Structure 1
Amino acid sequence: MKKLASILTLIIAATTLATAQFGPGGPGGMGGGQRGDGNGRPQNTQQAPTFNLEGNAPKGNSKVFGFVIDESVSTAVEFANVALYIKDTKKVVDGTIADEKGKFSMSRVAAGEYNLVITFIGFKDKTIEVKVEKGKDNDLGVIKLAQSVKQLEEVTVTAEKSMIEEKVDRLVYNAEKDLTSKGGDAADILRKVPMLSVDLDGNVSLRGTSNLKVLINNKPSTIVASSIADALKMIPADLIKTVEVITSPSAKYDAEGSGGIINIILKKSTLQGLTLNVDSGVGIRGSNLSLNGNYRQGKLGVTLGGFGRVFYNKSATSLDQTTVRNGIPTLTNQTADAFDNGLFGRYNLGFDYDLAKNQSLTASVAFGTRNFTRSQDFTINQYTNSVLNSTSYRDVTSKDLSNSVDINLDYIRTFKPSQEWSVSGQFSQNKLTNNFFTDLLSNSQELVSRQKNLNKNFNNEVTLQTDYQTPIKQNQMFEVGLKTVIRQVNSDYEYLIANPTGSFSSDARNPAGLLNYSQNIAAGYLSYTYSTKNKYTFKVGSRYEYTTITANDQKGTISIPAYGNLVPSVNISKSVGKASTLKLAYNNRIQRPGLQQLNPNYNASNPQSISIGNPSLRPEISNNLEFSLSTNIKKTYLNVSVFGRQTNNSITRISMPSDSVVGAIITTFQNIGKEQTYGTNIFGNFFITPKWTLNGGLDLYYNYLEGQQTGLNGISSTISNSGVVVGGRLQSSITLQKGWAIQAFGGFRGNRVQLQGTQGGMGMYSIGARKEFANKKGSLGLATENFFGMRMKSTLTTPLFNQVSINNIYNQNIKLTFSYKIGKMKFTQTKQSKVKNDDVKSGGDNNNN
């Protein structure tokens, strides 16, 4: 029997490899199937494929299915090999592998008596007797595998999930393996993800563009639409399971996001029973506390959680800028000391319920809160013709407050494996307040006057969508869907001034204003996937979106014509040999302006660097082409990709001298002429020893921008700027005995090209250690990061002004983290929401090139 099981394991492993090459369903299967993760384990992105090992095996109409878990920790055994053979003749008649949730299923099983054998490296083989009756399904329930200590000691590498995985249509970063980011937020995680770059404020860019979409558990959020940086601060790193980077989205995804899609998957309850997780951290620059409970019994699952994070940080900035007005140059030298205080929270309640064997209902509500305060003391010296003519002081307090809510409801009906229909709805709302208060002081530090800017913003979305997918034969998949998004964006703002002893009144120089902006999107898509016997997989589709906009401000109606976009997408993959995959992808994307780009509020919290939105912005259109090669060489995973992108009407920041404030510069958003980006990404995952891993990557791209700029004569002319941007990251983890682990990370991004200058580069680094308790229910960690602080230098140069800004951030941090899990659960399956709004440009950042 053991000999037969060993032979069977080899057969199934070979068949699994064939499945990885041909896609689900074996030769001619669909979807691109699976591929290795660099550790000898397949990675499944579709439902577990089935395959027959005997060409003349009897066929029937019964089904055998169940779940495979590790009996010691009650978690799923991902991708376990499952084989079914006739009890008397020992002939193998069917087989499959479990998916990432441990679920397996074999259909068309004939009546008879069988032995079901489950094998996986690191576990003892499991044999179960199965009696199949004609027309009746066999639910084997939860099947527990016992660990094989000897095997685990010999093959630790193959049982370890890689930090980076490549799936059919995306790259996956397994954040739950990241030790150094515990106690941080989502921005700390994203800084370590290949191809991504995150600046000090949490603004994200992918391959040189910040025009992308961030989803949370496949769902959008109005707070992400308003500001990606704000949303990332609300998500605790401890609750992030994986980060998916989708550089070439299919037609099923919204057409928005010219750079691609980032999908943050949070840890979910996949178990039966009751658990309670406590995660906490204390540091000299930030602290956090989260409490998450999961209860599942029978058909009902309930989750309830809350997370809070506070941070406190100092910075010092300097600004040197020269402006020319009426032929007279004015030099402004500004220094400021700042202190930041932030409090962020996110709270969620969700449930899923099995209405019937093939129907499920999922609902969730999530609340987010943000309270960010910055205090700055400005010293401003101004020179005319190199002679000091004024010195002033300002004490400025800025407040960014928000409250958000996301409510989702999903109904899913499954007709047969891979054939399902879903109806989904979402309500999302975000209320923001962006105020600042200023005290103006004289040379003798006496109060001269006071100023307020009160700005209330409102973002509301209602989404309805329906999707249907069905397999065609064994090697094809057809998908179709409809969607509508009703979006409302409002902004009301006013300026108030007062003398030292008087009350506040309206500022005649800056009158109150408003923006009412309604946007309706109607969309439909078709997608078709076809896999061939010679290891090609084609996924083609097209999506049409029609957008109507009505807008008005205090002056009246803003004319913004409706527009329609036909968005094609093509993804082609080819398995080469036993461990390599080639991919070629093309798509057309659009990018609509977000709230911060549209908001016309005149933000002068820094009197020499003023910002204002542009409600007349049009969407930008981009064409993207990508070619990549991924391969496994023994215990090493490598991926090399080259890409090109051209964007028309690119939304970017444009700066110009102020007409009303001497020496000041105003920055707004405009649709510049075009932007071109060409580059390459190289990254890999290496096992130096079975317990020592090293992964890292290099990003290199050329950026060209072209747009309009006003010269000294007041006439606009075409200008351009170009340059090469280099970035990279390196991370290493070592697993020691007795539950100890050490991890270190370092990353950098060079200067980035802007139309009018360059944005300064940055570097980040951290090192941490963690000790797991004997029962793995708790852990204690210590980490330090950025112990030398940071310095960023940016420049802007035009015929009308020159600006050099330097930002010193004292973000050295030491943090102690603690986590503990209470309760015991067993494995079951979860449901996922279907709504994915991928269609609004993030705002308020400096990364639009």
Structure 2
Amino acid sequence: MTFILKASAQQVREVNGTVTDSIGPAPGVNVKLISDRDSLNTTTSTTGAFVFKAVKGKNFKITVSGIGYQTFVRRYVMDNDTKPIRLEPIKLSNDSKLLNTVNITAVNPITVKEDTVEYKASAYKVREGSPVEELLKKLPGVTVDKNGVVTAHGKQVTKVRVNGKDYFTGDVQTATQNLPADIIEAIQVIDDYGDQANLTGIKTGDPDKILNLTIQKGKRVGKFGQAAVGVGNDERYLTRVSANTFKDDRQISFVGTVNNNNTNAFNFGGGGGRGGGGGGANGITTNRSGGFNYRDSWGKKMTVYSSYSFADQDRRTESTSLQQSLFQSGTIINSNNTTDKNNNINHRFDFNLEYKIDTLNYLKVNPNFSYGSSKDENVNIFTNTRINDVTTGDENSLTKGNSPSYGGNLLYNHRFKKKGRNFSINSNFNFSDNTSNLDDKYTTRNNNSVFPLYQQINTDNSTTRLSLRASYMEPLSKTNFLEASYAYNFNNNDNNRRNYRVDPTTNIATFVDSLSTVYNYRFITNTFGLNLRGIKPKYNYTIGLSARPVTLEGETHNITTKNNTFNWVPTAHFVYNFAKNHTLNFNYSGTNNQPSFTQLQVNPDYSNPQNVVYGNPDLKPEFNNNLTLNYNQFDIGSGNSLFTNLNFTETQNKIVTSTRPVSNKVLNPSNSKDSTAQETRYINTNGFYSYGGNYAFSKPFSNRRYTVTFNGGLSYNNNINFIEEKRNEGKNFVWNQGIKFRLDLDSIMDSEVSANYSANKTRYSLPSSINTDANTITLGLDGRNYFFYDFILGYNLTQTINHGFSSTVKSNPTLLSSYLEYQFLNKHAASLRFQAFDLFNQNTGISRSVSGNRIVDTRSNRLGRYFLLSFTIRLQKFNGAGKPPAGFRNRNGGFGGRRRG
């Protein structure tokens, strides 16, 4: 017996090794050792190392596998020695086929790769029933403001996808505030260059920042949703419901709300509040909205996803603003007190069909339709001063409008049998028609005289847009590809403005031809491009050059104008992978901007007698040179993350204003001087540029229980405008620095303390007496404490200290909101919450904008103090993992929102 035990002990040995890929160490991959006496599993460390301490078998098989890699299998035959065995380094090869068909299940909390940063949801704990928004707040480099606006790595997120497909047309707040965090596997922050770039890999232009939410495999078959109802003082109320049914590829969702506490279900481009109070939204809004989202696979080759959204919103906004306009002959001060009542009704329908015809051909069709109607009542009381002259007045206006829009997008891609050879064509069509009827009563008082100006302005502006881009890609070698492309953009605008003067006594309207405009203009670009793409183990690049002739032409009152310009547009996109989770990304793009109707119109616009606007039909389109540089790093060992962004824009033929004070004979023909009135004209000039940057560095401690984040940014704008025909440069510098300390103690507390300082400074090249410096200090405390397992105490405290703003708008609000919530039923499925919002009743919005020779400080009302008692029920039932969603490609796949290489 002793001999047998001794012999067995002699067969136990240590086996160790390392795993690498084309970039460097491969952490987090699975390593399995099997012999006739062993079945052992482990994962590689941050350096790619693995070790099996006690291997009994003499001969064994090693299997190494990981998402995105070809599986490595090798048999080893060893001698009878018991010394540790050091295996030769194992190098894994990328598996492009696997990358295009499965979801990411990264072991590490953050994975950084080229144009995508992925966060593993399980690494950032949130309370049961919390929405995705609460999960986003914990991700390094990601912020969510009081309006629910998501900013990732310094850029606002514009779209959300679920498993690679748009969710409610990509509406950000709809997804982040209604989907539960506990069904999410991973959150990907993607620089998206568009569907065509996803297929070809050629990345040109400026990318959009989007989110892709991947659903856990075990949550892809089931039903889940929630409903809430609440009542409060000051006639506050809230009802909200969301329901979802998932069965593999088929996903059906409904979201709806009726409330008057600034909670929006959908964002139709007008901003607005967020779930839970709308503390950062200007005005007070009543919302009635609802919508459906549908996704399914029709057979093995076809995937469809569609949504319909409806919103009916009433908003009342009260604001005070002070505008300082620099002139050498004396600054004009415009003080305004405005009350605005607005009703908007919006419908939006979107449909997508993706058809994989065969292994070589792909087709995507995307028709869409929207319709909006609005009614706006505006009352403004103003005082304009310049030196010792004072003009007062008031304006009452009523505007009604409609804006139908429809269009579609068609994308076709053909892959040839020769690997790398590819042809694609992407076409887009859109038509929109905006009509409005304005009844305006404008009364000005100057030198004890009253000058009424009543008018009706009816406008009908329609826009037709057509674009087409064709791309052919030819492989030059295994790692180099040449793309030839052609793009055509056609933009036609028909603008009709009919101006009527109304007699204040008889109320009779008289058409004024000299103040009316019928103007048609077209903006046409043709772009011929050649791009070279290279793919290397540690870097890849796209470099190219395009020729872009541009035509801007128009007709009005039998007058024809035409401007032709030509631009050489270089293209550059470069990605360098220093190591795992350590990338540098550079991008250059050139874009054209067309003038607007207001800037081009021939007849002057007298709708505001204090600022008469003259268009310039000879304007040239702007051309922008845009450069961005991103540096992202995540250290697996320490958990430290760093996200940085630098950007620079230089504009040629920048369209700027040329302003000067004028005597206003339209107001009063007998008055030789009205020194508070001004005129605005538009001209092209050069010298405009801007640059900026931001960073976010996070350092976690104690397994991410504590996290310190430093974040900051700066921007500089060299604005150009002309004042009394003299060139003026407005150098606007804005910077901010913040620090946050976050505590995530499971089942105890989830809290964040923050401090931020921001400064806004402007210097003009012409002499100025305008107050140009303002700064803000913001201190915050936001969190939740958990008691007795079932109780939650939530709180949000913000102290804002403003300095340098106009005394008419200055405010230093202290905002305190809190709630006590009792959760009950299985898995906290139900909750009862008592919320106290803005206990000190000081919620106001303060902002400053700098443009040309103007600095505008504004203060707006926001939802004030109220109390709300609400009940919420959450229901979930999941049946299993199901199958992967059809058409969803991850890591570097094309159809799901990620790109190859």
Equivalent-residue separation in structure 2 for 1:265 and 1:404 (angstroms)? 26
Equivalent-residue separation in structure 1 for 2:192 and 2:251 (angstroms)? 32
In the other structure, the counterpart of 1:436 is 438
**1:277 and 2:236 matched:** no
In the other structure, the counterpart of 2:152 is 193
| Change beyond 3 A, Cα 1:366–1:460 | same
Greater relative contact order (CA < 8 Å, ≥ 6 in sequence): 1
**1:103 and 2:104 matched:** no
In the other structure, the counterpart of 2:885 is 828
Superposed, 1:159-308 pairs within 5 Å as 159-160=108-109, 162=110, 167-169=113-115, 177-179=132-134, 188=147, 192-196=151-155, 244=190, 260-264=206-210, 272-280=248-256, 282=259, 284-288=261-265, 289-299=290-300, 300-308=302-310
Amino acid aligned to 1:18: G
In the other structure, the counterpart of 2:369 is 367
Equivalent-residue separation in structure 1 for 2:333 and 2:862 (angstroms)? 28
Match of 1:179, SS?
helix
In the other structure, the counterpart of 1:554 is 557
In the other structure, the counterpart of 1:790 is 845
Equivalent-residue separation in structure 2 for 1:185 and 1:596 (angstroms)? 35
In the other structure, the counterpart of 1:46 is none
| Change beyond 3 A, Cα 1:442–1:646 | closer
In the other structure, the counterpart of 1:717 is 726
Q: CA deviation at 1:293?
A: 1.6
Match of 1:826, SS?
coil
Match of 1:646, SS?
strand
What is the CA deviation profile of residues 322-373 of structure 1, one whole-angstrom value per residue up to 9, with x for unaligned ones?
8989x89987644323344444443212222232233232212222334454
| Change beyond 3 A, Cα 1:190–1:387 | closer
Match of 1:178, SS?
helix
**1:810 and 2:816 matched:** no
In the other structure, the counterpart of 1:488 is 492
In the other structure, the counterpart of 2:760 is 751
In the other structure, the counterpart of 1:125 is none
Superposed, 1:50-69 pairs within 5 Å as none
| Change beyond 3 A, Cα 1:636–1:398 | farther
| Change beyond 3 A, Cα 1:604–1:526 | same
What is the CA deviation profile of residues 283-316 of structure 1, one whole-angstrom value per residue up to 9, with x for unaligned ones?
5124323321212243322222122343624231
Q: CA deviation at 1:807?
A: 3.5
In the other structure, the counterpart of 2:684 is 671
In the other structure, the counterpart of 1:591 is 592
Amino acid aligned to 1:168: E
| Change beyond 3 A, Cα 1:796–1:529 | closer
Larger radius of gyration: 2
Superposed, 1:115-194 pairs within 5 Å as 158-160=107-109, 162=110, 167-169=113-115, 177-179=132-134, 188=147, 192-194=151-153
Percent of pairs with identical residues: 15
Paired residues, number: 683
2:113 and 2:582 in contact (8 A); partners too? no
Superposed, 1:491-506 pairs within 5 Å as 491-500=495-504, 502=506, 504-506=508-510
What is the CA deviation profile of residues 169-194 of structure 1, one whole-angstrom value per residue up to 9, with x for unaligned ones?
57789999433999x99995656233
Amino acid aligned to 1:178: E
1:648 and 1:674 in contact (8 A); partners too? yes
Amino acid aligned to 2:264: S
Identify which of 678, 682, 685 aligns with 2:695: 682
| Change beyond 3 A, Cα 1:772–1:629 | farther
1:644 and 1:678 in contact (8 A); partners too? yes
Equivalent-residue separation in structure 1 for 2:758 and 2:369 (angstroms)? 33
What is the CA deviation profile of residues 482-534 of structure 1, one whole-angstrom value per residue up to 9, with x for unaligned ones?
2222221221112223235645534538621022112222223222233456x
Equivalent-residue separation in structure 2 for 1:821 and 1:305 (angstroms)? 23
| Change beyond 3 A, Cα 1:476–1:283 | farther
What is the CA deviation profile of residues 745-789 of structure 1, one whole-angstrom value per residue up to 9, with x for unaligned ones?
998864375978869888999968899998999999999899732
Farther-moved stretch of structure 1 (770-779 vs 346-355): 770-779
TM-score of the superposed pair, with normalisation by structure 1:
0.64
Match of 2:21, SS?
helix
In structure 1, the gaps of 5 or more residues are 1-6, 22-38, 43-67, 69-77, 106-118, 122-157, 198-203, 205-213, 218-230, 837-849
Q: CA deviation at 1:83?
A: 1.0
In the other structure, the counterpart of 2:643 is 639
Equivalent-residue separation in structure 1 for 2:658 and 2:171 (angstroms)? 26
Equivalent-residue separation in structure 2 for 1:83 and 1:772 (angstroms)? 47
2:749 and 2:783 in contact (8 A); partners too? no
Equivalent-residue separation in structure 2 for 1:215 and 1:366 (angstroms)? 16
1:481 and 1:526 in contact (8 A); partners too? yes
Equivalent-residue separation in structure 2 for 1:442 and 1:632 (angstroms)? 61
Q: CA deviation at 1:431?
A: 1.9
| Change beyond 3 A, Cα 1:593–1:98 | same
| Change beyond 3 A, Cα 1:593–1:826 | same
Match of 1:559, SS?
strand
Q: CA deviation at 1:458?
A: 1.4
What is the CA deviation profile of residues 780-799 of structure 1, one whole-angstrom value per residue up to 9, with x for unaligned ones?
9999899732112457796x
In the other structure, the counterpart of 2:518 is 514
Q: CA deviation at 1:103?
A: 1.8
Farther-moved stretch of structure 1 (476-485 vs 751-760): 751-760
In the other structure, the counterpart of 1:35 is none
Amino acid aligned to 2:24: A
Equivalent-residue separation in structure 2 for 1:542 and 1:783 (angstroms)? 59
Farther-moved stretch of structure 1 (615-624 vs 297-306): 615-624
Amino acid aligned to 2:319: A
Farther-moved stretch of structure 1 (287-296 vs 773-782): 773-782
1:767 and 1:783 in contact (8 A); partners too? no
2:204 and 2:572 in contact (8 A); partners too? no
Amino acid aligned to 2:114: V
Amino acid aligned to 1:789: T
1:406 and 1:426 in contact (8 A); partners too? yes
Q: CA deviation at 1:429?
A: 1.8
Identify which of 442, 454, 466 aligns with 2:470: 466
Amino acid aligned to 1:806: T
Equivalent-residue separation in structure 1 for 2:529 and 2:613 (angstroms)? 38
What is the CA deviation profile of residues 364-408 of structure 1, one whole-angstrom value per residue up to 9, with x for unaligned ones?
2222334454432222346687476x6533222345642322312
| Change beyond 3 A, Cα 1:415–1:593 | same
Equivalent-residue separation in structure 1 for 2:554 and 2:458 (angstroms)? 21
| Change beyond 3 A, Cα 1:321–1:103 | closer
In the other structure, the counterpart of 2:230 is none
In the other structure, the counterpart of 1:127 is none
Q: CA deviation at 1:593?
A: 2.0
1:179 and 1:742 in contact (8 A); partners too? no
Equivalent-residue separation in structure 2 for 1:447 and 1:717 (angstroms)? 32
In the other structure, the counterpart of 2:711 is 697
1:538 and 1:573 in contact (8 A); partners too? yes
Amino acid aligned to 1:278: F
1:280 and 1:819 in contact (8 A); partners too? no
Amino acid aligned to 1:293: Y
Farther-moved stretch of structure 1 (650-659 vs 821-830): 821-830
